[in-house]
A and B are shown apart, each in its own frame.
Chain A
Amino acid sequence: MPVINLPSYLSRKSLLFLCLSVASAVFFTPLPTSASGTGTEVLITNELVSCSEHASTTSFIGIKNPEYNSIPPDDAILPNNSTIWEYWNGLGCPSTGDNIGYYDLSDFMSTTTSGVYLMIFGDNQFGDMIEPWFYGQFYWNATTSEISNVLNYSTSTLDSSYYSGFHSTYDTKFTDVSASTTAGHLDDLYVSHFVDPDEVDTNLSARNPTYIKLSYAKQPDIETASVFETLSNLSGSSTGNGVTEFDLSSLTHGTYDVLIQFSNIGANLGLSEQPFPDAYVYLTIDLDPATGLSIVGDVEYYDKTTLPEPDIYEDCSLGDLTCHLSNAGKALFLPSQESVANFITLQESISGKFPFNYVSDFKDAFASLYTTSATQSLTISVPFGSFGNITLLSADLINAVPFASTIRTILSYLLWIMLTVQIYRRTLRIFNSQETTA
């Protein structure tokens, strides 16, 4: 094997240092900015959408609500501003240069100073989203009516975790349906549900359940009607566990097919998406004025707490041997989701068993130190004769230290430098020991 003699300035140490420096530079460099702020406008560049790729008289870019697929685009969203804007502004493509244009926000911002989370999509007005989309934040100063600190911009594709992740699974679901046994309410139906607060976004119809919709059809008819009740009208609140009560005493005697779903005013009017559409309940009830309401047969609960089993098998024609062999191979060797999920539940079981629970409990206890205020505080004082107690150390004394924040910042920088040096020297030692053994 030929031996390559590196020049002295390209020793292993210097190469290692160079590699670490480049890695640090890459690691700490902010994401490329694809938009910037000036005055009241957001400047959008063609890092987001290529004009040459999408240039046409109907090609536009603007702020768009990703949960809606309106044609033409007529909606936009700034979630933290608590407003869904019905606004669309075509910016067009310039003939030269990288900039697509300025998007003026001055007429649409609120009168209060706030941080704004922004998502911008391209749309060709034929129902197609133009990838990539990008998201970021900026700060709206209501006093000066200007935006500032456009930051954290990043591009992504439409199948990003935010967009498709929500639609793939969610924990919000119906948990129980039962007939009332309370005297005077025998025609009532109790619907229990769980609404995950992390999945609720009051600015997105698909994530904003405010009503429970009960649709029914009297057998053998197929004509349906619906009644709405406010979410958790019996107990609970808008998120978490709750129970909604339906009074069905106005229905005539008979057997009914019933479907229960989450809803809101927009979904009721057909103007916006139904919240959590894959969480619903199907059941059959019997209404008798003499005995009240009773549930007939099993109640079928549907939710989207787990990913649906993908259809991995191909539709094979009768003589397609290769296709059948492929399906047989998949059936034999591909693990099912259930068999993999067993290990996830196993992990949860381990955390509930002694002594393994100490690991997870210790982690939780340590994490809670950051979120809860301590009940104990250190104070050291000594009796000093007729002068009484003199406090040597207390929170008030620490807070009174001059330049405390400056000292803290300097110490913080020192810690990071020490960490870098430590890791650098440790890595160097590893490489050196390997050189020695080689």
Chain B
Amino acid sequence: MIISGFLNLIAYLLNLLLSLFPDATGLPVGFTTALDYFAGYVGILDPIVPLDTLATTFALIITYEVSIFAFRGFRWLISHIPFVGGKG
């Protein structure tokens, strides 16, 4: 009951905050068209260049870097907690 009430309150406040933003769906047409052009131009290289592997390895590198960044951010956060982070 206590935890549920607390979670409901947080969700309510977040929803309230979110209601300030306007509803929107879809990307600008120019952007999607550009993406379509890009895919069409690059796509013809697919018989020679492994674009799927390229995208996968790129995504893996980004995931790796984001993980390290998050880990460092977490450590920074811990280090700034009084007593726990050793800076009390």
- Chain A residues with CB under 8 Å of B39's CB are 369, 374, 376
- Chain A residues with CB under 8 Å of B40's CB are 374-378
A411-B35 in contact given A339-B11, A375-B40 (Cβ < 8 Å): no
CB <8 Å contact, A331 and B53: no
A358 at the interface (CB under 8 A from B): yes
CB <8 Å contact, B18 and A357: no
- Chain B residues with CB under 8 Å of A404's CB are 47-48
Question: CA of A401 to CA of B2 in the docked complex: distance in angstroms?
Answer: 68
Interface centre among A358, A374, A430 (most CB of B within 10 A): A374
Question: CA of A398 to CA of B47 in the docked complex: distance in angstroms?
Answer: 7
The bracket for how many chain B residues form the interface is 35 or more
Which of B46-78 touch A at CB < 8 Å?
47-50, 52-54, 57, 60-61, 64, 68
CB <8 Å contact, A334 and B3: yes
CB <8 Å contact, A377 and B43: yes
B83 at the interface (CB under 8 A from A): no
CB <8 Å contact, B44 and A342: no
CB <8 Å contact, B37 and A394: no
- Chain A residues with CB under 8 Å of B21's CB are 353-356
A339-B18 in contact given A415-B54, A418-B57 (Cβ < 8 Å): no
The contact string, 1 if C-beta is below 8 Å from chain B, for chain A 271-310, is 0000000000000000000000000000000000000000
Question: CA of A374 to CA of B42 in the docked complex: distance in angstroms?
Answer: 10
Question: CA of A426 to CA of B45 in the docked complex: distance in angstroms?
Answer: 30
CB <8 Å contact, A342 and B47: no
A357-B24 in contact given A350-B18, A401-B48, A405-B47 (Cβ < 8 Å): yes
Interface centre among B7, B23, B26 (most CB of A within 10 A): B7
Which of B29-45 touch A at CB < 8 Å?
31-32, 35-37, 39-41, 43-45
CB <8 Å contact, B64 and A415: no
Q: How far is the CB of A50 from chain B (nearest CB, A)?
A: 39
Q: How far is the CB of A397 from chain B (nearest CB, A)?
A: 9
CB <8 Å contact, B4 and A353: no
- Chain B residues with CB under 8 Å of A268's CB are none
Contact of A333 among B2, B35, B52 (CB under 8 A): B2
- Chain B residues with CB under 8 Å of A7's CB are none
Question: CA of A393 to CA of B40 in the docked complex: distance in angstroms?
Answer: 13
Q: How far is the CB of B28 from chain A (nearest CB, A)?
A: 9
CB <8 Å contact, B53 and A339: no
The contact string, 1 if C-beta is below 8 Å from chain B, for chain A 403-438, is 011011101100110110011001000100000000
Q: How far is the CB of A410 from chain B (nearest CB, A)?
A: 9
A144 at the interface (CB under 8 A from B): no
Q: How far is the CB of B61 from chain A (nearest CB, A)?
A: 7
CB <8 Å contact, A352 and B14: no
Q: How far is the CB of B6 from chain A (nearest CB, A)?
A: 8
Sample of 14 further A-B pairs with CB below 8 A, known A339-B3, A346-B15, A411-B50: A333-B2, A336-B4, A339-B5, A349-B18, A350-B18, A355-B21, A361-B25, A361-B27, A369-B39, A376-B36, A376-B37, A394-B44, A405-B47, A423-B61
Residues of A within 8 A of B (CB): 331-336, 338-340, 342-343, 346, 349-350, 352-358, 361-362, 365-366, 369-370, 374-378, 393-395, 398-399, 401, 404-405, 407-409, 411-412, 415-416, 418-419, 422-423, 426, 430
- Closest 7 A/B residue pairs (Cβ): A376-B40, A374-B40, A354-B24, A342-B11, A378-B41, A412-B50, A339-B7
